[in-house]
Amino acid sequence: MNINRREAIIRMAVFLGGSFVGPRLFSAALDETAPVTDFGFSVAEIALLDELGDTIIPETDTPGAKAVYIGAFIAMMVHDCYDPAERANFKTGLTQLATDYRVRHGHDFAAGPATVRTEYLNEVDLAHKKDRHSRKPSLVAFRMVKDLTVLGYFTSEIGATRVARHTEMPGFYNGDVPYKKSDKVWATG
């Protein structure tokens, strides 16, 4: 039986009486048409996070980050795992990234061609690599978006089963698996 992340959350919430994920998420999870505004992020901010994530992991022969609702995942992680000051800095940096792109290219990030968006994020990544300890909000936000995109994508069903090789557990350890350079990584060990 295959279930998606939303169904798993609903089942876990019902199992634990709804106290595990809270009433707002529980009610939103039951209504698939509800706007995703939980966790203090607007629909526009989550859409921007989707576009940033999809630029970092674009659709190829496998679905991109937007297919796993990476924006909602990032919003949830920032809300649940970072303190209020870090969340505020992240949101400021996210706004700054979008504004810098708009000023530079004359349109919103989502409206830009994939090559221009990729080039822009590569420049931001290079600036981040030159100053890894920068507290500049746009660089902090980019670093968090990049890290959370990779985490969210590869822990999603698509990332773990369609991008990486997957063996359902229980299994056994085989330390001598034949490997070719073009083989996919293992999602399970």
Short-list 110, 6, 92, CA closest to 55: 110
55 backbone dihedrals φ, ψ, rounded to 5° = -75, -35
pLDDT in tens, 38-65: 688 999 999 999 999 999 999 999 999 9
Q: Which residues contact 90 (CB under 8 A, 6 or more apart)?
A: 78, 82, 137, 140, 141, 144
Asked if 61 contacts 48 with a C-beta cutoff of 8 angstroms, the reply is: no
- Which DSSP letter does residue 21 get? T
User: In terms of DSSP H, where are the helices of 16-42?
Assistant: 23-30
The model scores a pTM over 0.85: no
Distance CA 73, CA 185 (A): 23
pLDDT in tens, 4-48: 766 666 666 555 554 444 444 444 444 444 444 568 899 999 999
